[in-house]
Each structure stands twice: as structure tokens, then as C-alpha cells.
């Protein structure tokens, strides 16, 4: 087994542990759960706004695997809407299997 494969396994395990810890803390503290259910994470660029609801995410990692310049696993903020064209981001958001990712087109100000 090569080093890069081992690194990928270790990264995946660490990510799962991080998400499991977040899940457990939500279960132990319903106030946080309520807060997260009502305040999804919001990211915007000039064209679109993308929201991420962690309570809906099934951690399939489809977004991170298929568009890693935008949906980053170990960087905060984890969604970088400047990482790819708006069309590609919209196509990826539409593929989210759980509906945790959503988008809307930003309203342009009319002078
Ligand atoms: S594609 Fe959707 S369900 Fe899968 S990890 Fe990304 S946000 Fe979560």
C-alpha cells in the first residue's frame, strides 16, 4: 500500500471522527441541535448563495470528491465559491443526495 493511499485512509478516518464527535455533541445538547436546524451555513459570491444544512448532510462526500476546489474537507470556510465557475457549482449542488446543499441566484441591484 502506498503512502498516499494510507494518507487518504487516515484523512477519511479523521474526518469521520470529527463528524461523529459533532453528531454526539448535538445529541447531548439539544439547544445546539435546535440552533443548527434553524441556522444553516450560508456562503455567497457575486452570482449565487449556497446554503449547507449539517443536520441534513449524510456525509456521502460527493461534493468534496467531485468539486474539491469548492467543497473543501480541511479548510475553513469549507465552501469556497470562488474555487470554480458558478455553473459548475450549481451543477454540483444539484447532485447533493440529501438536499443539505441548496442554492439561489442572488438578486442584482437595479439602479
Ligand atoms: S454532497 Fe450533500 S450529502 Fe454529500 S457530503 Fe456534500 S453536502 Fe453532504
Output the nine-digit C-alpha cell for 87.
455553473
pLDDT at 6: 82
**How much is the pLDDT for 54?**
87
Q: What spacing in Å lies between the alpha carbon of 107 and ligand 1's midpoint?
A: 26
- pTM of the model as a whole: 0.66
Classify the C-alpha dihedral 85-86-91-95 as positive or negative.
positive
Give the DSSP per-residue string, 37-67. Answer: HH--EEEE-SSEEEEE-TTT-----HHHHH-
Does any ligand 1 atom lie closer than 6 A to the CB of residue 57?
yes
> In angstroms, what is the span from residue 65 Cα to ligand 1's centroid?
10
How far lies 104's CA from each of 12, 28, 63, 76, in Å? 30, 33, 17, 22
Give the pLDDT confidence score for residue 39 in this predicted structure: 60
Digit-coded pLDDT (tens) for 7-52: 778 877 877 777 777 776 666 665 555 554 546 699 999 999 999 9
- CATH: 3.30.70.20, 3.40.50.800, 3.40.50.1970, 2.130.10.10. Which one for 40-111? 3.30.70.20
Tens-place pLDDT, residues 82-98? 999 999 999 999 999 99
pLDDT at 28: 66
Cell of 69: 476546489
Which of 88, 86, 15 lies closest to 57, judged by CA?
15
Q: Which of 61, 65, 99 to mutate to test the pocket of ligand 1 (most atoms within 8 A of CB)?
A: 61
State the pLDDT at residue 38: 47
70 lines ligand 1 (CB under 6 A): no
Amino acid at each position: 500500500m502506498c503512502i498516499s493511499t494510507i494518507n487518504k485512509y487516515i484523512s477519511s478516518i479523521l474526518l469521520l471522527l470529527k463528524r461523529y464527535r459533532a453528531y454526539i455533541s448535538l445529541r447531548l445538547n439539544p439547544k445546539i441541535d435546535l440552533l443548527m436546524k434553524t441556522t444553516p451555513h450560508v456562503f455567497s459570491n457575486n452570482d449565487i448563495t449556497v446554503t449547507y444544512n449539517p443536520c441534513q448532510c449524510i456525509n456521502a462526500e460527493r461534493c468534496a470528491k467531485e468539486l474539491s476546489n469548492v467543497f473543501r474537507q480541511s479548510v475553513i470556510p469549507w465552501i469556497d465559491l470562488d474555487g470554480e465557475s458558478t455553473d459548475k457549482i450549481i451543477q454540483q449542488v444539484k447532485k447533493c443526495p440529501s438536499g443539505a446543499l441548496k442554492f439561489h441566484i442572488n438578486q442584482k441591484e437595479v439602479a
